[in-house]
Amino acid sequence: MGAGASSAAVVLSGADIEVTAMVGADEAGLLVVGGPAVLAVGAGELSGEIAEVCAEASEGLAAGGAGSAQCEVRVAVADLGGADPASLVGNVLVTMVVGTSGEDSLVVPVAAVSADTAGNARIEVVVGGLAHDAAAADQETRIVGIVPGLAAEGMVEVKEADAELRAGDLVVVGRGGGAGAGDG
């Protein structure tokens, strides 16, 4: 997060190795003790498990500026996999999973999601497939209200849709409004 460590970043104690990471208090609420973590060490990766969330909270002088609360998260290294424990000293990139969507989840590009005047999420879907003899702006479309889920890598999960929506449907990306613009 850009702030210097106020305590030892790695604690060696018997057979247990833990890495301490700082996260924003808002993000800490998404973490679960026992959840998976990946530690990037040198050119390799080690698996870990979240051992403690908000072991210590600090207010203020973190990378987020004045008033941004930070929480200390301890990650237990599950298996060194032959790595030298000394390689964990210094900066270690820790990635903690806060959620996953199911294998059969329907996802759309984040850029395809817009909001109506009431703030409800929606997407614009091309009706009946792409007509190659018509300009893009002349394609028939329909608006489908959605409940977005997890978002990552430019895609967002569609948890619910108020109309039929299937894998393979074409969605409009980058056009503000479109058919039904302003509909609530």
pLDDT digits (tens, 9 = 90+) for 129-149: 788 888 878 888 999 999 998
* Dihedral of alpha carbons 163, 167, 172, 173, sign: positive
| Mean pLDDT in residue range 22-38 | 85
The maximal CA–CA distance of the chain, rounded, in angstroms, is 71
Per residue in 55-113, pLDDT tens?
555 544 444 444 568 888 999 887 777 767 676 677 788 888 777 777 778 999 999 99
The pLDDT assigned to 182 comes to: 39
pTM for this predicted structure: 0.51
Q: What pLDDT is stored for residue 133 in this prediction?
A: 84
